[in-house]
Structure 1
Amino acid sequence: MREIQLKDAKATLSAVVDDVVRGEPVVITRYGEPEAVVVSFAEWKKLSTVPSFGRLLMASGLEDGDLPERNRTSSRKVEF
């Protein structure tokens, strides 16, 4: 993934957009620290439709008592 400083991204925005459309995300840095990632609209759309793990669990239809209780006994002895 290519990194570019914010001032350079401003000056070459068309080239940055061309790169991301070709499938190369660009990291924009400010003062040497990553601040943003530019990706194509198609990539953003794909990433934004992936449900979170929590949403998947909520949609599973599980109810109280469907899963066994967690075994909380220690699996091995640890000496400190």
Structure 2
Amino acid sequence: MEKIFAQQFDALLEKYCELLVGESDDLTKEKVKAWAMYSHIAKSMPALINHWSAMYPEARGEMKQIIQEIKQLNEQHRKSTQK
């Protein structure tokens, strides 16, 4: 991947995080990236997610926590922007 593209893609991810949860620090960006990838795989290849979840139940639990955290942050962000 070219450096310029990587920077431009990072800018896209940063803006997405800001719009989704209201913050875009590095940890939040990594969580959103994992959530987005997991969500895409779950929709396009659910059998792969089932296999992965069976092989790595601890990771599945962590992914569930990330999903819940992003959902909560998104709800809080939407409420704060509606005022």
TM-score between the two structures when normalised by the length of structure 2: 0.26
Larger radius of gyration: 1
- Structure with more of its chain in strand, by fraction: 1
TM-score between the two structures when normalised by the length of structure 1: 0.26
